[in-house]
Copies of this chain bind each other. A is one copy, B any other.
Amino acid sequence: MLIVAALTMGNLMAQERRMPTLDDLLPGGETYRYADNIYGLQWWGDVLVKPDIDRLSSVDLKNGKETELVNVGQVSDILKKNNLNISLPSLQSVQLLWPGETKMLIRTRTGYYTVDWKSGTIVAKQEMPRGAANADFNAESGNLAYTIQNNLFVNGKRLTDEPEGIVAGQSVHRNEFGINKGTFWSPKGNLLAFYRMDESMVTEYPLVNIDTRVAELTPVRYPMAGMTSHKVTVGIYQMATGKTIYLDAGDPADRYFTNISWAPDEKSLWLIELNRDQNHAKLCQYDVESGKLMGVFYEEQNPKYVEPQEPIVFLPWDNTKFIYQSQRDGFNHLYLMDTNVKVYPEKHQVGNSTYNESFKTTQLTKGEWLVQGILGFNTAKKEIIFASTEVSPLQTNVYKVNAKTGAKTSINTDMGVHRAQVSASGTYLIDNFSTPSIAHQIDVYDTTGKGKAKAINLLTASDPLEGFILPQIETGTIKAADGKTDLYYRICKPADFDPNKKYPAIVYVYGGPHAQMIHNGLRYDARGWDLYMANRGYIMFTLDNRGSDNRGFEFESVTFRHLGVEESKDQVMGVEYLKSLPYIDADRIGVHGWSFGGHMTTSLMLRYPEIYKVGVAGGPVIDWAYYEVMYGERYMDTPQSNPDGYEGSNLNNLAGNLKGHLLMIHDYQDDTCVPQHTLSFIKACVDARTYPDLFIYPGHPHNVSGRDRIHLHEKITRYFEDNL
C-alpha cells in the first residue's frame, strides 16, 4: 500500500513538472509552446488599435479601456452586401492606414480591399491573378504593384515583358545591403521605382527535386565569388503616362544599386551605389524624368568594406534635410545632411574610413554603441526616435535625438530587447519587449518626457514553458583571443546541476556577421534545443565571437579576408573558459551550428581536433569560393584577389585533420549554401581517408523547418548521445 502511494505521488509529481520534449520546445513541434502576444497591434494616427480575431478596438491610453470600432460580423456583412466573395482573414491582419478615416485594408491572396466600416462600402479593390507575389500597396494612391513569375504588374497592367533570366520587381543582390523588396512607391504613389535584374549570364546551380515521378532539375542562378554576377538596373514607371524609364547609370556590371529612397517631392530618386569590391559607397540622386544622374553627394571608402544598409530618410518637417546612416566612425550612427548647404567635398578621414560630403553634415549620434534603426519622428519637437544598443550590446532600447540641438534623451533604458512602434505624431510608443524572464510584455507610453511616462500595460505573457523542468541559465563575459575584447557567453546548466559532478559540454555556435546569439531576451535567447540538451545532462555554451553583430565595425571586420580563423580562435577561448570550470569534463566537448555556424563547427573540428570530440555541422559553408558574390566578396574579396585567404578558409584543405565524430547535415534544396559545400567536403575526406558522417534533408532549403525540425534535432541529439 505504501509503495503504491509513493509511486502514485511520484507519478503525480512527474506529471506536474516534466521535461519538455522537442515537440514542446521547437517551432514545428506538435505541442510547441508559443508565448502569448497581441498580433496586429497598430497605430491609427495617434489612436492605438488592438485587433482581436473578431473585433477591432481602440484603447484609451490613459486607462487602457477598450472601445469596439468594428466587429467581424459587420465587416463580413459589408463584404457580402457588396458581393465580394472573399474569405475574410482574421481581423488581426487588417491594416488601418488612413488616420482619421474609418477605413481598413484587407489583404488576401486574390486582392487588396479597402473597406469603410462606417459607410459600409468597399472604397477600393485591387484584384490579383493566381500566382501573384511581392504585392506592394500604396496607401496614398491605392495603387498595387505585384509580380507574376519574373515580370512586374501594376493595377492589373503588365509593366515588363522580360524573358526567363531577367527578373523585374523583386529583391535583388540576394537580399544583401538591407534589400528585401523590388518595388518602391513614390510618396504619393504617382511613380513606381523597381529593380530589374538580368541574371541570364549567371551560372545555374543544378539543385534537384526528388519529390516528382522522376527527379527534376530546379536550377537556381547563383553567382559564386569571383564569377560573373547579375546586372541590376532601376526602372521608374510613371502612372500618369504609362511610361517606364531606366536610370541612366551606365554599364551595370559589377555595381550594386542599393538603399533606394524617394525625394519627398517625387522629382528625384536617391540610392547608394557600391562598387563590386564593396569598399566605396556613393550617395546618388537621379532625375525621375530623364533618368540622369543629378549628383553624387556623399562618398565613403574603407580599405575593408563599406556596407550601407539603411536608405536615407527625409525629415518629415523639412524636405531639405535627410538622415544618412554610416558606421564610418566604427559604429552605425545618424548623420543629418542639409541639402540647402552645399560644401566643397574635401576628403576626410576617421579611423580607416575616408569620406567626402557635398552637403553640410551634422553627426547626430556618437559613441561606442550603435543605432539599430529609426523608429519614427516627433515633428512638433523635431525629434528622431531610434533604437540603440547604448545600454548594452545585448539590448535594444529606445532613444530620441533633437535634430536641431543634437540633444539625446533616453526613452527607455530598461532591461530587455525592446521592439517599438511609434505613433504618427511621435508622441506615443508601443513597446513590445522581452527580458530574460519575460516572454513578451507590451507597454504603451508617452515619449515626450524623459524616460517612460504614463505607461499602460497591455500584456505580460507568462513563460510558455512554465511548469516544465528547465535549466539554469547565466551569461557573462570572457576575453577574446586578442586578450582585450570582451565577449559575451551564455551557459545553461541542468536543473539538478551538481557542481561536484563532471558534465559533457556542447557549444552551440553561429559566429558570422549580422547575427548575435545572446541578447537580454527570454532566457538570454537560449534555444529550445539548448534547454532540451541541458535537461539531458549537458552543459550548453554559446559565445558571440569577434565577427558577430552589434559590436561595431572593428569587432566585426577583424575577420576580413580570412573568415573562420579569428572566430575559431575566440571559440577556443570559450572552451578554455569551460575547461577552467571544475564541473566540465574536458574530454567531452561537442560543437554544433548551422550555416556560418556549420562552417565554424567544421572549422573547429578540423583546426582543433584535440579539443572537440563531436561536431554536427548543418548547411555549412566549406569553401567560400562556393558562396555567393555579394556576401562572400564583402568579407573575403574574390578568389582571384585573395587566393591565400580563400585557401586558408577552405575547409576542404583541412579534411585530413578530422579525428572526432563529425556529422555533416545539408538540405538537398539549399539555395543559400549549395550542396556542393558539403559534398565537396565529403569527397575531400574520402580522398584524405577521414570519416565524417552525413545526413541530407530532401525537400528543405537552407535549414529544416516545420514538422521535420523535430526529426532534425532528434537526429542531432542522438549523434551527441552516441558519440560524446
* A residues adjacent to B (C-beta < 8 A): 203, 205-206, 208, 210-211, 213-217, 219, 222, 224, 227, 625-626, 668, 674-676, 679-680, 682-683, 686-687, 689, 691, 693-699, 708, 710-711, 714-715, 718, 722
In the complex the two chains form, is A714's CB within 8 Å of B689's CB? yes
A718 to B686 alpha-carbon distance, docked (Å): 14
In the complex the two chains form, is B691's CB within 8 Å of A694's CB? no
In the complex the two chains form, is B213's CB within 8 Å of A205's CB? no
Q: Taking CB as reference atom, which chain B residue is nearest A215?
A: B676
A272 to B626 alpha-carbon distance, docked (Å): 52
B contact residues around A211 at 8 Å (CB): 680, 683
In the complex the two chains form, is B714's CB within 8 Å of A683's CB? no
Contact of A215 among B227, B674, B698, B718 (CB under 8 A): B674
Contact of A210 among B215, B224, B227, B676 (CB under 8 A): B676
In the complex the two chains form, is A205's CB within 8 Å of B215's CB? yes
In the complex the two chains form, is A227's CB within 8 Å of B206's CB? no
A535 to B335 alpha-carbon distance, docked (Å): 75
In the complex the two chains form, is B210's CB within 8 Å of A675's CB? yes
CB distance from A200 to the nearest CB of B (A): 15
Question: 5 closest Cβ contacts across the A-B interface?
Answer: A206-B217, A683-B698, A210-B679, A203-B214, A215-B676
A227 to B682 alpha-carbon distance, docked (Å): 34
A–B complex contacts, Cβ < 8 Å, 20 sampled:
A206-B217, A208-B208, A210-B675, A210-B679, A210-B680, A214-B222, A214-B224, A214-B626, A214-B676, A682-B696, A683-B699, A686-B711, A689-B711, A691-B711, A691-B715, A691-B718, A693-B695, A694-B694, A694-B696, A696-B696
- What's the number of copies of this chain in the assembled complex? 2
In the complex the two chains form, is B203's CB within 8 Å of A206's CB? no
A227 to B214 alpha-carbon distance, docked (Å): 10
Q: Taking CB as reference atom, which chain B residue is nearest A663?
A: B693
Given the known inter-chain contacts A206-B208, A222-B214, A696-B694, please indicate yes or no for A689 contacting B710, CB distance below 8 A: yes
Q: Taking CB as reference atom, which chain B residue is nearest A212?
A: B676
B contact residues around A718 at 8 Å (CB): 691
- What 4 new A-B contacts, CB under 8 Å, besides A210-B680, A215-B676, A682-B695? A215-B675, A217-B217, A686-B698, A689-B710
In the complex the two chains form, is A691's CB within 8 Å of B714's CB? yes
Contact of A224 among B213, B676, B698, B708 (CB under 8 A): B213
B contact residues around A625 at 8 Å (CB): 213
Given the known inter-chain contacts A203-B214, A205-B214, A205-B215, please indicate yes or no for A697 contacting B686, CB distance below 8 A: yes
Q: Taking CB as reference atom, which chain B residue is nearest A699?
A: B683
B contact residues around A683 at 8 Å (CB): 210-211, 698-699
Given the known inter-chain contacts A693-B693, A694-B694, A698-B683, please indicate yes or no for A206 contacting B213, CB distance below 8 A: no
A141 to B213 alpha-carbon distance, docked (Å): 49
In the complex the two chains form, is A696's CB within 8 Å of B679's CB? yes
B contact residues around A213 at 8 Å (CB): 224, 227, 625
Q: Taking CB as reference atom, which chain B residue is nearest A723?
A: B722
CB distance from A620 to the nearest CB of B (A): 15
CB distance from A564 to the nearest CB of B (A): 21
A101 to B676 alpha-carbon distance, docked (Å): 57
CB distance from A261 to the nearest CB of B (A): 35
Q: Taking CB as reference atom, which chain B residue is nearest A206?
A: B217
Q: Taking CB as reference atom, which chain B residue is nearest A688?
A: B711
Given the known inter-chain contacts A206-B208, A217-B206, A693-B693, please indicate yes or no for A682 contacting B698, CB distance below 8 A: yes
CB distance from A593 to the nearest CB of B (A): 20
A637 to B29 alpha-carbon distance, docked (Å): 41
B contact residues around A696 at 8 Å (CB): 679, 682, 694, 696
B contact residues around A216 at 8 Å (CB): 206
A296 to B722 alpha-carbon distance, docked (Å): 65
Q: Taking CB as reference atom, which chain B residue is nearest A665?
A: B694
Q: Taking CB as reference atom, which chain B residue is nearest A211?
A: B683
A178 to B216 alpha-carbon distance, docked (Å): 31
Given the known inter-chain contacts A686-B711, A691-B714, please indicate yes or no for A215 contacting B224, CB distance below 8 A: no
In the complex the two chains form, is A679's CB within 8 Å of B694's CB? no
A693 to B661 alpha-carbon distance, docked (Å): 14
B contact residues around A668 at 8 Å (CB): 679
B contact residues around A694 at 8 Å (CB): 694-696
A698 to B217 alpha-carbon distance, docked (Å): 18
B contact residues around A215 at 8 Å (CB): 205-206, 674-676, 679
Q: Taking CB as reference atom, which chain B residue is nearest A712?
A: B686
A652 to B132 alpha-carbon distance, docked (Å): 36
Q: Taking CB as reference atom, which chain B residue is nearest A685?
A: B711
A674 to B210 alpha-carbon distance, docked (Å): 10
B contact residues around A695 at 8 Å (CB): 682, 693-694
B contact residues around A708 at 8 Å (CB): 686-687
B contact residues around A214 at 8 Å (CB): 203, 205, 222, 224, 227, 626, 676
Q: Taking CB as reference atom, which chain B residue is nearest A209?
A: B206
A213 to B203 alpha-carbon distance, docked (Å): 10
A697 to B686 alpha-carbon distance, docked (Å): 8
A694 to B663 alpha-carbon distance, docked (Å): 10
CB distance from A117 to the nearest CB of B (A): 45
A206 to B213 alpha-carbon distance, docked (Å): 13
A216 to B687 alpha-carbon distance, docked (Å): 21
B contact residues around A227 at 8 Å (CB): 213-214
B contact residues around A679 at 8 Å (CB): 210, 215, 668, 696, 698
A42 to B271 alpha-carbon distance, docked (Å): 80
Q: Taking CB as reference atom, which chain B residue is nearest A683?
A: B698
CB distance from A12 to the nearest CB of B (A): 29
Q: Taking CB as reference atom, which chain B residue is nearest A710?
A: B689
CB distance from A670 to the nearest CB of B (A): 12
CB distance from A552 to the nearest CB of B (A): 35
A165 to B625 alpha-carbon distance, docked (Å): 34
B contact residues around A217 at 8 Å (CB): 206, 217, 219
A682 to B674 alpha-carbon distance, docked (Å): 19
A219 to B211 alpha-carbon distance, docked (Å): 17
Q: Taking CB as reference atom, which chain B residue is nearest A718?
A: B691
CB distance from A32 to the nearest CB of B (A): 16
A597 to B104 alpha-carbon distance, docked (Å): 64
B contact residues around A699 at 8 Å (CB): 683
A722 to B675 alpha-carbon distance, docked (Å): 28
Q: Taking CB as reference atom, which chain B residue is nearest A684?
A: B698
CB distance from A560 to the nearest CB of B (A): 24
B contact residues around A675 at 8 Å (CB): 210, 215
Residue among A216, A217, A674, A683 having the largest count of chain B Cβ atoms under 10 Å: A683
